[in-house]
A = this chain, B = another copy of it.
Amino acid sequence: MLAVDVGGTGLKAELLGPDLAPLRTHTTPTDADRGPDAVVETILRLCADLTATAPIPVAAASLAVPGLVDAEQGIALWSANIGWRDVPLRKLVEQRLGITATVVHDLAVGGFAEARIGAGAGVADQLFIAIGTGIAGAITAGGIPITVGHGQAGEIGHVIVEEGGPLCGCGAYGCLEAISSAAAISRHYADRSGTKRSTAEIATRLGKDPIADEVWAQAVQALSRALVSYVSLLAPSIIVIGGGLAESGPALFEPLRAAMAARVTFQSLPTLVPAKLGARATVIGAGLLAWDKLNEEATE
């Protein structure tokens, strides 16, 4: 099984064994500014190289891409970060490699992996939320991953948490992403202090730097507002937090748990846990989905 994680900054292809352990890993920069055609060509070459040198036969390829995806047709519909539109990736990979390919949504499969074998394993109702440059989620309800339409579901980063709040990359004001993403926290810190720092640096300054405290508290409050609204709608028993910000650990989880506990009234408070699979969640999810598909076809 070949699993590819197509990211805005890097491409990662892994040759996975049946136990999902990586037999080989190739990575290369995406260099999106070369244009979408060049990126697609790099993806195809990466797949071909890894397949040609594989120590075991490669049964299928699974490509996880960002933005909007038509998983049924195998088309990468749109990505702001990569700058492509309507790329028939499945067909291109199948033609080049001569094996079955699937195209899936990166965040959805990352959440799927956490829900199936990661921090949320065995929990029927859960939210996976990735907080990094942006914020997005993957919803599991009644044991079923909710992937409505073309991968648009789960856009919790665009829940409006502050009417007339900061401008978001999507063009709206007061989206969660514009306040609580790692990028927004760094930006708000720089705006107020004049110094650019990463969220990891800001987290270590908590309790000593009033601007850090203020920006962090604002992000945690906005996050608690969005998550409690989510709890009212979908009553998850667990919320799994991944992405760069989750690496702040207790500096994020402790005040967030307290803020959510202070907000809920009739709602049951879900457990908050960090993601388990880390940066490999996407390739693992892509691999899992492709194995499932192969097994289904084999039993049909």
Contacts and interface: CB of A to CB of B under 8 A. Distances in A.
A31 interface: no
A268 B153 CA distance: 11
A234 B153 contact: yes
Top 3 closest pairs, chain A to chain B, by CB: A171-B265, A158-B232, A170-B265
A40 B125 CA distance: 32
Interface residues of A, number: 43
A163 to B, nearest CB: 7
Interface in A122-177: 124-125, 137, 139, 141-142, 144, 146-149, 152-163, 168, 170-172
Interface in A238-297: 263-268
A42 interface: no
Interface stretch (A5-13, A18-26, A222-230): A222-230
Given A139-B233, A146-B142, A265-B170, A163 B162 contact: yes
A234 B170 CA distance: 17
A268 B152 CA distance: 9
A148 B171 contact: no
B142 A267 contact: no
A235 interface: yes
A229 B235 CA distance: 16
Interface in A170-225: 170-172, 225
27 contacts: A125-B148, A125-B149, A139-B233, A141-B141, A142-B147, A148-B235, A152-B235, A153-B233, A153-B235, A154-B233, A155-B232, A155-B233, A155-B235, A155-B266, A155-B267, A156-B232, A158-B267, A159-B233, A160-B161, A160-B225, A170-B265, A171-B265, A171-B266, A172-B263, A172-B265, A230-B233, A233-B233
A163 B266 CA distance: 18
A69 to B, nearest CB: 13
A204 B235 CA distance: 38
A168 B264 CA distance: 12
A159 B263 CA distance: 11
Interface string A61-76: 0000000000000000
A232 B139 CA distance: 12
